[in-house]
A and B are shown apart, each in its own frame.
Chain A
């Protein structure tokens, strides 16, 4: 099996690479590339994302044919794809970080700034928070409800269809922190930085 981590200059992805290689050992081939033919021939794709919504969308669009290849992979061919952090946020139709930016439009919804309630909540939302599993997701196999995951973000994904939400976390409001829509998975938290439980989620994704 071949799992491809999309390297589209979205910032620092070395932790994502390290964690997937740790879980995969020698059993699974982990590729790190933006090469379209390699993406097409992958079994699974990981879409990381750091920085702003706009900077990630811009970086994706900079690579000719990449969004189309990802669309073909996830929407037409329905092969498993995991978005992490801004990688998840980009599933939305639209994001409002920096300026209004069009997303991939795979899961209807928008990405808005977390309501800090006039300074009551610090932003970014940084640190370990518990996830409230609202729908059993394939990536939560053997992950207990209320497990701690590591978060770093100031914006939240608000999907229109609440049925795609697999977990929320409590920070100012119930923030959507995990989604599953058919073959498309996403986590707002960073499994690659969430210690053993995070590695378990990565293992679950690899084993789908």
Chain B
């Protein structure tokens, strides 16, 4: 049967890992390639890089990181952050990314999703949705959570599926960085609205939160960053824990 996926995410800035795993045996703790390799050797089902490079002149650093990683890691690699155009997607795929996640550009110009999924196939187009609760609904935020688009998250999710997205990466802006768990109500509402897989993100502080993301949020995959940093939990531990809770994982 199909397994639920665990996806560790690394924030990369100017080609270097921000936070990350703090293992003593790391030669270079800031090297995304080395960290990605540790994750994939530990059983990560996919690896995700989020490029948070702010300045345009350092944008190209991510291409080098992706190229080097794809020569060392033979599990799927998703890259997001600052992806604006078909050309950006093309460059990342050519460097060895398997999927590209599109956030702000998909809100501003939904045609990017339509065009890129036609050109490269839905399998490599992930639409990243940053949503924040407002009353009894959720609204889509862009630019790393700074701007409220006013769009309804559920309707937007459906629209992105119709436009050809292969997967949705849903982050709760209310939970991101809080370590109090995913917004499982947001996740399950979107998961029941669409027929494409949902990756839950934002708020993981312990292994039970991963279980909740799958059991209560109905996510196909769970993405987490900080619990895998500084050796708090390994991917292997996370998988064994999910397995003990009856969740199908690849061990």
Contacts and interface: CB of A to CB of B under 8 A. Distances in A.
A and B held together in a complex: yes
Interface of A: 11-12, 14-15, 18-19, 21-22, 50-52, 55, 116, 119, 122-130, 148, 150-154, 170-171, 192-196, 198-199
B98 interface: yes
Contacts of A199: 74
Contacts, number: 100
A45 to B, nearest CB: 21
B173 to A, nearest CB: 24
B22 interface: no
B211 to A, nearest CB: 17
A71 B121 CA distance: 26
A126 B167 contact: yes
Nearest to A147: B250
B230 interface: no
Interface of B: 1-5, 40, 45, 70-71, 74-76, 93-98, 119-124, 166-167, 195-197, 220-221, 250
19 contacts: A12-B124, A15-B98, A19-B74, A51-B119, A51-B120, A122-B195, A122-B197, A124-B166, A124-B196, A126-B123, A126-B197, A128-B3, A152-B76, A171-B2, A193-B74, A193-B75, A193-B98, A194-B74, A195-B74
A124 B122 CA distance: 8
Nearest to A194: B74
Contacts of B221: 127
A11 B166 contact: no
A129 B123 contact: no
Given A18-B70, A125-B2, A150-B76, 16 more contacts: A11-B93, A11-B121, A14-B96, A19-B74, A21-B71, A22-B71, A50-B120, A124-B123, A128-B3, A129-B1, A148-B3, A152-B166, A153-B123, A154-B122, A192-B74, A198-B74
Given A130-B1, A171-B2, A51 B96 contact: no
A152 B196 CA distance: 12
A119 B71 contact: no
Contact of A127 (B71, B195, B196, B197): B197
A51 B196 contact: no
Nearest to B2: A129
B220 A126 contact: yes
A50 B94 CA distance: 13
A127 B45 contact: yes
Nearest to A49: B121
B74 A152 contact: no
A147 B25 CA distance: 31
B28 to A, nearest CB: 21
Nearest to B43: A195
B141 to A, nearest CB: 25
Contacts of B97: 12
Contacts of A126: 123, 166-167, 197, 220
A128 B2 contact: yes
A22 B45 CA distance: 20
4 smallest CB-CB distances across A and B, nearest first, come from: A51-B121, A12-B93, A152-B123, A128-B250
Contacts of A55: 121
Contacts of A22: 71, 74
